[in-house]
Structure 1
Amino acid sequence: MDTHTAPLPLAENLWMLAYPLKMLGADLRRNVTLIRLGSGKVVIHSTAPFSLEDIAAIRALGEPGWLLDGILRHDTFAKEGRAAFPGIPYLAPDGFSEVVGFPTESIVPAPVEWDGELLALEIQGAPEARDTALLHVPSRTLILTELVFNFGGDEPLWTEMLLRVAVGGEHHPGMSRPVKAGVKDKAAFESSLATILGWDFDRVIVGHGDVIEFDGKAKLRAALAAAGFSPG
């Protein structure tokens, strides 16, 4: 999926750009979510190798207000993102700035300007990831980074083979083995998941893979249960 110069509209004030992300020869894709707030400012969720056309397309949606990377290991394109949108706050988990070598600000607590439109929760119990979930309230959309992947059965053979190693046979959606192994406090992790599942959402945007357009909450709950977690 190549949408570089044309953000894909998902709902009112919500778009996505998809980029290749090659790992061991497979394309796990990097999804960038664009959220326009009532103020007209745009939240750029996840960084990518933005071209000049991409930057222009994002600016056409509204004034870039924040860059955001939702997990400590999401630094692949951080420098490209910072260069593409200099001078705006770069939000990331605590510790991200040490990884990328430039200052970032905490995602939580979320900026006051997001009130009523965008919620943010750091998923506890997995300290090496510090993954953060967002909820776009108006469109009832959950925005994730790496909690789950969502790839169908029509991926190229090599991508499918890598997914089976990294995630398992069920990856529509599914939790990767590294994410599961990173959980050090299961009770705290499940408590955060319970909070997320208590939010009002139907659509789920994942950091890697296809958007879950319908029944996202039920599909997420099933994927978490398949990975051995019972958030209640």
Structure 2
Amino acid sequence: MTTVSCHLAAGLPPPIAGPAVSRPVDGFRLAYDRSGTGPGIVLLHGGHGDRTDWADVAVRLEGTVVTPDLRGVGESDRWPGGDVSVSAQAASVTSLIDELRLGPVVLGGHGIGAAVALRVAARSPGRVAGLVVTPPPEVPTRSVTGTGRNALQRVWTTWSAPGYTPSRLRLDHLAQQHDRRLLTMSSDPIGRHVVAAPTTILWPDLDPLVPDSWFDGLGEWFRRVTVRRVPGVGHFLPVEAPMAFVEALQRTVQERTQQRGF
């Protein structure tokens, strides 16, 4: 499925730029959309979606915006026996930043994409000028039992805010795009490292996967961190409330431009 038809099947408008594919890392190539000019912004989707989750965010940003499908998802290479762990995903994203000569970038991440963004920032600080992420989830295995389509419908309707319901077309699209291994992935993306880049954590207050205890000791993991609570929003923040991400990302880009002139 082409990038344009991929967006249309998801009930979304076609992307501004045409389809592109990265160089392979460990045999995986990443499909990505790229649009705009200026400071680099890379947006990483969650395990229950794909790069089209960022459609309403990407079109509103000022900069060179890149939205890849992670390994095993969507139009990226999808090898059943390949490594799709957080560290492996981070290797592909880091390579993509280098290949496109984007760095240092502002990284946006949601769900598993947030874990990948944190990993990149912790292990490759020179490539990251700022972060805007939601808290990485710890997804219970029982929540994704059943067929892929049923599991996706269940989580998209129960983890989102009341009143938000994805369309049937959207769910059909995601059921064809996902890799089940990413649905329950959990990881400590930072390990013993500290994230030096200024970080904004967007906290959707109706996200059932984020306990209050997650925020204990943030000062040990981040050198500079700001937490912004987003009221009335569930787990799927880029789709439910895209402007929260737009405003935080644009603010981070502007601050880094003023301070470092990148």
Q: Same fold (TM over 0.5)?
A: no
Q: Which has a greater percent of strand? A: 1
Normalising by structure 2, we get a TM-score of 0.29
TM-score, normalized by length of structure 1? 0.31
Relative contact order, higher structure (CA 8 A, sep 6+): 2
Which structure shows the bigger proportion of residues in helix conformation?
A: 2
